[in-house]
């Protein structure tokens, strides 16, 4: 029998308890992130948290640790139960009322509920995300369009039924917000065409010079109100945490009032630049992204798509070997 299975029962129980505490902390943090949706900020906190959880390099590693912890927790629980059965193969002749705490008595049922929750969660979200199964909670575009039509009709009816100026003003405010969301949705549908920016190949720049070069590249399209102020915001974001996601890739980004459209600049650096990335590798592929705060959903969608795509080694290699900017553009827009 492997040495792991020969550990003392108390060692297994302590390990089981520590993993249980770790998993409970995870569930509480997860719940806290979901509760961000209840804030009256238009979902800003939730989108920021969701973006972090979906793109951060450390979180990707943490996902593996979390999955391994769930499996180890189950294995330890089964081993302890088997040990208990073997220690007392014959049951008690008569059973008396136990003085065990209610939490311990109900542990089997609470454990089953949590296991079911995790099972559904892994199957419909995590496994769907990595492509092992087809997600059941992926909303189709057709369903979204129908939802917008219903909302539009509801607002039309509300305006016709409004009796006071205050009620009409509120409906008009709702209509404005609805139109903005509809515009963002339509831009999402034209994802590839929505990106306005540039592609450039440069030889020898520092990190700050590369960021400045990328901002100026975007400014050439006439969609930057103030290049220096936009650059300052990009640098300020970079000071919070490096946007080097590893494998020689960085995605500096900032939502800014000085950008009039969602834009992406791509630099392929002949001499890699130190970006304080998580894996300490210098960066030779730089994707600078910016856009107005009114385009936050589109901004986050593109950012998430880029981060996910750039973790693909074959995709990164194709970008590095692309002979010209047209090929790079095709690779970016055609990536699933």
Q: Could you tell me what percent of the chain has a pLDDT over 90? A: 7
In the structure, what pLDDT confidence band is assigned to residue 234 with cuts at 50, 70 and 90? very high
Q: In this structure, are 153 and 74 located in the same domain?
A: no
Q: What is the mean pLDDT of residues 52-65?
A: 75
Q: Could you give the angle at which helices 107-121 and 57-87 cross, rounded to 10 degrees?
A: 140
- Per-residue pLDDT tens for 92-126? 666 666 667 777 777 778 778 877 877 777 776 66
Q: What pLDDT is attached to residue 42?
A: 57
Q: In this structure, are 252 and 265 located in the same domain?
A: yes
Q: In this structure, are 132 and 235 located in the same domain?
A: no
Give one DSSP letter per residue of 160-219, joined into a string: HH--SHHHHHHHHHHHHHHHHHHHHHHHHHTHHHH-EEEEEEESS--HHHHHHHHHHHHH
Q: Could you tell me what percent of the chain has a pLDDT over 70? A: 72
Query: CA-CA distance, 132 to 135, in Å (whole number)?
Result: 9
In the structure, what pLDDT confidence band is assigned to residue 188 with cuts at 50, 70 and 90? very low
Q: Are 284 and 295 in contact (CB under 8 A)?
A: no
Q: Say which range, 83-92, 138-147, 266-275, has the weakest mean pLDDT.
A: 138-147
Q: In this structure, are 218 and 327 located in the same domain?
A: yes
Query: Per the domain annotation, does 286 fall within a domain?
Result: yes
Give one DSSP letter per residue of 221-252, joined into a string: TT-BS-HHHHHHHHHHHHHHS--EEETTEE--
The model's pTM is: 0.44
Q: Say which range, 183-192, 290-299, 303-312, has the weakest mean pLDDT.
A: 183-192
Query: CA-CA distance, 289 to 252, in Å (whole number)?
Result: 6
pLDDT at 283 over 70: yes
Give me the half-sphere count of Cα atoms (radius 13 Å) on the Cβ side of residue 132: 7
If one compares 275 and 56, the residue with the highest pLDDT of the two is: 275
Q: What is the mean pLDDT of residues 26-53?
A: 75
Query: Per the domain annotation, does 96 fall within a domain?
Result: no
Q: In this structure, are 55 and 38 located in the same domain?
A: yes
Q: In this structure, are 207 and 328 located in the same domain?
A: yes
Q: In this structure, are 297 and 246 located in the same domain?
A: yes
If one compares 220 and 152, the residue with the highest pLDDT of the two is: 220
Query: Per the domain annotation, does 120 fall within a domain?
Result: yes
Q: In this structure, are 115 and 198 located in the same domain?
A: no
Query: Per the domain annotation, does 95 fall within a domain?
Result: no
Q: In this structure, are 148 and 46 located in the same domain?
A: no
Total of domains in the chain: 4
Annotated catalytic sites, by residue?
253
If one compares 11 and 146, the residue with the highest pLDDT of the two is: 11
pLDDT at 301 over 90: no
Q: In this structure, are 121 and 147 located in the same domain?
A: no
Q: Could you tell me the sign of the dihedral formed by the alpha carbons of 79, 81, 82, 88, in that order?
A: positive
Q: Say which range, 53-62, 155-164, 197-206, has the weakest mean pLDDT.
A: 197-206
In the structure, what pLDDT confidence band is assigned to residue 200 with cuts at 50, 70 and 90? very low
Q: Could you tell me the CATH number of the domain that includes residue 255?
A: 3.40.930.10
Q: What pLDDT is attached to residue 80?
A: 81
Average pLDDT, the chain: 75
Task: Give the domain range for residue 63.
Answer: 1-86
């Amino acid at each position: 029998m492997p040495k792991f299975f020969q550990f003392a029962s108390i060692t297994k129980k302590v390990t089981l308890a520590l993993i249980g505490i770790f998993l409970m902390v995870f569930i509480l943090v997860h719940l806290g992130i979901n509760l961000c949706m209840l804030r009256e900020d238009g979902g800003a906190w939730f989108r920021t948290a969701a973006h972090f959880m979906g793109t951060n390099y450390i979180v990707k590693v943490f996902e593996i640790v979390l999955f391994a912890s769930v499996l180890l927790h189950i294995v330890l629980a089964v081993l302890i139960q088997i040990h208990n059965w073997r220690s007392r193969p014959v049951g008690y002749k008569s059973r008396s009322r136990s003085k065990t705490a209610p939490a311990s008595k109900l542990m089997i049922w609470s454990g089953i509920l949590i296991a079911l929750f995790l099972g559904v969660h892994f199957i419909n979200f995590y496994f769907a995300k990595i492509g092992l199964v087809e997600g059941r909670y992926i909303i189709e575009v057709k369903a979204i369009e129908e939802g917008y039509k219903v909302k539009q009709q509801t607002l039309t009816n509300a305006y016709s039924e409004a009796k006071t100026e205050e009620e009409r003003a509120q409906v008009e405010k709702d209509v404005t917000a609805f139109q903005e969301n509809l515009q963002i949705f339509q831009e999402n549908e034209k994802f590839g065409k929505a990106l306005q920016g540039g592609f450039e190949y440069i030889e020898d720049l520092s990190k700050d010079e590369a960021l400045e070069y990328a901002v100026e590249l975007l400014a050439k399209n006439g969609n930057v109100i103030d290049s220096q102020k936009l650059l300052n915001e990009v640098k300020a974001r970079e000071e919070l945490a490096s946007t080097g996601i590893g494998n020689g890739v960085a995605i500096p980004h900032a939502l800014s009032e000085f950008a009039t459209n969602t834009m992406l600049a791509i630099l392929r650096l002949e001499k890699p630049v130190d970006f304080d990335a998580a894996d300490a590798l210098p960066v030779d592929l730089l994707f600078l992204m910016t856009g107005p705060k009114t385009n936050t959903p589109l901004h986050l969608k593109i950012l998430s798509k880029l981060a996910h795509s750039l973790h693909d080694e074959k995709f990164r290699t194709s970008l590095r070997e692309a002979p010209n900017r047209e090929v790079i553009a095709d690779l970016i827009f055609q990536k699933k």
